[in-house]
Amino acid sequence: MIETPTIDWAGLSPLVALLGGALLVLVVGLGRPRWVREGVVPLVAIASFGAAIGLSIWQWGERKDLMEGALRLDELTLVLTMIFCVAGIAATLLAWRHIAPREAAHGEFYCLLLSATAGMFVLVAATNLVTLFLGLELLSIPLYVLCATETRREGSLEAGLKYLIVGSVGSATLLFGLAFIYGATGSTDFSGIAQAINESVSDDSLLLGGIALAMVGLAFKASVAPFHQWTPDVYQGAPTPVTAFMAVATKAAALGVTIRLFDVALIGASDIWQPVLGFLAAVTIIVGNVGALGQTSLKRMLAYSSVAQAGYLLAGVVVATQLGVQATVFYLAVYLMMNLSAFAVIIIRERETPLGDSIDAVAGLGSSRPLLAWPLTISMLALAGFPATGGFIGKFFLIDASVDGGYIWLGVFIVIGSMISLGYYLRVVAAVWMRPAPQQAATPTAGGSPPVLAGGAPEADRAPVELLFVAVGFAVLTLAAGIVPQPLFDLVGHAGESLTGLF
């Protein structure tokens, strides 16, 4: 008799909602009427993400193993899943009238988006090396395709190919590392690995090699220097809605699985990997901020910014404490708000002007389009860590966790990185409020947008409502997280407590 594994379907319900939604949008996308493809399909995708959020709330407070220990459902998994799904809803709204879903076929585009989110759930819930790698591949493969969905644009195809090649190298490196860890400990379960390390193999050369390779593989996915080289090219070349989704959701997934692997399975070898990971965090902060200083493309600037943000977030993982986990998850939630608001404004200006994602495209918005100028300004100030924004509270939280964990020097690097970042974030704010809009002839734009008049203002002088909703809504949330952060503190507090007894 073959014993089948016991599956907790209630615990897996968010994953079922995402995969079921992926199949449903694929079928609905086969409809002939244009209004079905361009209207109903995105609504089904949003409903699927919403169902996953609702089911996550339904499972709140449950701490249990799913599929006989292959997956773990707890508040950390559920909070990160809600972050992924909110990013998915925002990406769907950003892509609603974008050219990318039209060229890739709407059903396929949103199916890939939902499948990637399902992979993120598996990745952050994984408590087994096998399911960890399966989640990584389920996340990565759809994103490779999504980056290349604008098939008539060379930059999009180049971004997809670069991400495929570099991502494959990162996945192979991670797989070798996981194999070495299994060879040293004789277990694929995180609990078995932690027990073996505590008992006898903490200084095994095979284990050390595995930790190093796993660290490199996850560093590729999280855009940690010096494994970040693909990030600016891919972020700039990919369709902007896909870039926005990758910038927040993929980073949250990579940091989530890093917490699981290093702060749970490999915690017994923390004296070995903590200094290395701390050094990588410091290098990443400096490289990302310095690299962003000379950028004139907003997407490339935000790509280097995301590298620096990965360094800040790593600080919470390095200290290997519950406070560190809480600080990391808090900053991930705030990072979602700050970035999506900025990307919404970038997409609006890409449609309205022939300047694309250049900083010149947002020049003069303060006087001509205040409804776009304020969300972009709030996003830039929050990313820089200005007071009264969620970014300030998030960085303060990370510095507090670093100091509390004995890594005062890492907290100093966060402060130095934030000071350097003023050089490029404030440049965008200055362009918005202090520079006149560039003069240009009327130019038709892609995707059915109104033509651009001299000075960059479209005839309708009105952005699509869904893009304004994303820009303004997340800007307001960014301010709310800085002024009244306690609800978010309570939420991430549960995420840290879910790992009680594992440190």
Question: pLDDT tens, 448-477?
Answer: 444 443 334 443 346 788 999 999 999 999
Q: What is the mean pLDDT of the chain?
A: 87
**137: in domain:** no
**122: in domain:** no
Q: Give the chain's domain count.
A: 1
Torsion of CA 91, 116, 331, 95, to 10 degrees: -10
- Mean pLDDT for 381-396 is 92
- Mean pLDDT for 218-232 is 89
Q: Give the pLDDT score at 468.
A: 92
CB atoms within 10 A of CB 275: 12
Q: Give the pLDDT score at 201.
A: 64
Q: How far is CA 479 from the centre of its chain?
A: 20
- Judge whether residue 145 has pLDDT over 80: yes
- As a whole number of angstroms, the distance between CA 269 and CA 214 comes to 14
Q: Give the pLDDT score at 444.
A: 43
- Mean pLDDT for 290-306 is 92
Q: Give the pLDDT score at 461.
A: 47
Q: Give the pLDDT score at 445.
A: 45
Domain that holds residue 354: 271-440+461-495
**149: in domain:** no
Beta bridge partners of 126: 71
Q: Give the pLDDT score at 84.
A: 94
- Mean pLDDT for 140-156 is 88
Of the listed ranges 99-108, 182-191, 212-221, the least confidently predicted one is 99-108
Output the CA–CA distances (angstroms, integers) from residue 417 to 284, 288, 291, 314, 370, in the order listed: 10, 9, 12, 14, 29
Strands (E) located in 13-155: 64-66, 71-73
State both tokens at 380.
Answer: 């830039």
**335: in domain:** yes
**Which pLDDT band holds residue 156 (cuts at 50, 70, 90)?**
confident
- Judge whether residue 299 has pLDDT over 80: yes
Beta bridge partners of 452: 443, 458
**Which pLDDT band holds residue 104 (cuts at 50, 70, 90)?**
low
Tell me the three state secondary structure of residue 59: coil
**50: in domain:** no
Q: Give the pLDDT score at 289.
A: 94
Q: Give the pLDDT score at 2.
A: 65
Q: Give the pLDDT score at 98.
A: 80
Q: Give the pLDDT score at 500.
A: 57
**384: in domain:** yes
Question: pLDDT tens, 398-415?
Answer: 999 999 988 999 999 999
Torsion of CA 480, 484, 486, 492, to 10 degrees: 20
Q: Give the pLDDT score at 117.
A: 95
Question: pLDDT tens, 242-266?
Answer: 999 999 999 999 999 999 899 888 8
**315: in domain:** yes
Question: pLDDT tens, 90-101?
Answer: 999 998 888 777
Q: Give the pLDDT score at 270.
A: 85
**169: in domain:** no
- As a whole number of angstroms, the distance between CA 176 and CA 214 comes to 8
